[in-house]
Amino acid sequence: MEKFAIEGGVPLSGTITPAGNKNGALPILAACLLTTDEVILRNVPRISDVEAMVQLLRTLGARVEWLGPREVLIDTSTVESAEVDRQLAERIRASFLLAGPLLARFGTAQMPPPGGDVIGRRRLDPHLDAFRALGAVVDHKLDDIVLTAPPLGLSPCDFLMDEPSVMATENALMAAALTRGPTVIRNAASEPHVQDLARMLVAMGAAIDGIGSNVMTVHGTASLRGCTHSIAPDHIEIGSFMALAGVTGGELVVKDTVPADLRMIRLVFERLGLRSEVHGADIIVPGNQELVIRNDAGDHMPKVEDGPWPAFPADLTSIALALATQSAGSVIIHEKMFENRLFFTDKLVMMGAAITICDPHRAIVVGPRPLRGGRVESPDIRAGMAMLIAALCADGVTEIGNIRQIDRGYERIDERLRDLGARITRLEDAPVSA
């Protein structure tokens, strides 16, 4: 086990380039199973979740070679097994993204329960409903889910998802891309990483109408080809860096972004008092900002709430909450999607934040409050980053344990923050004796 030791109170300033989108890299890696040709992926984040997906592909028989720091070659022509490794699957929820490609290519997939963050119930039903709509039989075998296509393969269909699940949309896209004929996916997720996957599938030979909307039509084909694809920058990481600069008072330039993906993030952060500017493909966060929460008309308390794209991303609610602790005023943080996401806030309260939990989905934050260093544990990726944000503006030294959670979503975060002036050290976390 490792931990971070952070000395707070230092403005983070400079220039940083975001890594490739974690939530884009994982389905894109899975999509390589849809072809027997080689695929080259660029701007792949070197994070533990990606390494776990690479290992899953290897256990299925794929050849995966890192050609450079963020460039990887995948050859799945040697894959014969459609049974996903149980121990590796338990490490990441994205292991279930292998279901769609395996089912479409091999006509079967045996999927153990996926792992991932414990932030609330995360249904598999939308995935299974999509597979059933395509003609697959879903069988629960002990803890595993076994998917079987009809003898003649999957059939194109027109179906409505009961919720705009990101991963279920991605599974449906991948399965439909290798199913000959037009498949219509309604109430689909349209997040930037879903769009990125769709663009890759188009490069592989599928035709997809409606990319970026909630109705997509996939004109599938019997075979797909290899391609070279560069993964888009991670808008969640960019939002995290913007908040880090805001609470520490530094001036930050985030290079090579997709500004269109950041419009709602910038709008919500401005409501919390954090201004940013767009210069071409770069985002600039001016330094020494006075963070003041902007009330709604009539001087009513404002609300930050997440939702399906293009609403504010759920993965940034923890980050927005940490930013709000340093903004003057009060705000309601409404996490609609996951009932356990806000439970980490007791750790920020221990550091001095003024946060009242109204119910599992809502918290009221009153700021600004001076924070002090302490000893905390990271329960999930985004809560870990929220605590890192708090630590960087706190008085004294903060130790964050269980940082493997942060490493799952942020590439070499300690090294990159040191380049911006942060006083952060990665240490071995000695076990507590009985």
Q: Which residues are catalytic?
A: 117
Distance CA 70, CA 66 (A): 7
Residue 145: CB partners within 8 Å, gap ≥ 6?
Answer: 99, 110, 111, 124, 128, 138, 139
Q: Decide if 349 contacts 355 (C-beta within 8 A).
A: yes
Question: Beta partners for 333?
Answer: 304, 363
Distance CA 6, CA 353 (A): 18
Tokens of 366: 């009153």
Residue 93: CB partners within 8 Å, gap ≥ 6?
Answer: 114, 115, 116, 117, 122, 167
Maximum C-alpha span of the chain: 65
Tokens of 181: 């004929």
Distance CA 398, CA 430 (A): 16
Distance CA 402, CA 3 (A): 6
Question: Beta partners for 66?
Answer: 72
Tokens of 311: 């609403």
Give all strands of the β-sheet with 144-148 in edge-to-edge order: 108-111, 144-148, 137-141
Tell me how long the chain is: 434
Tokens of 425: 């050290």
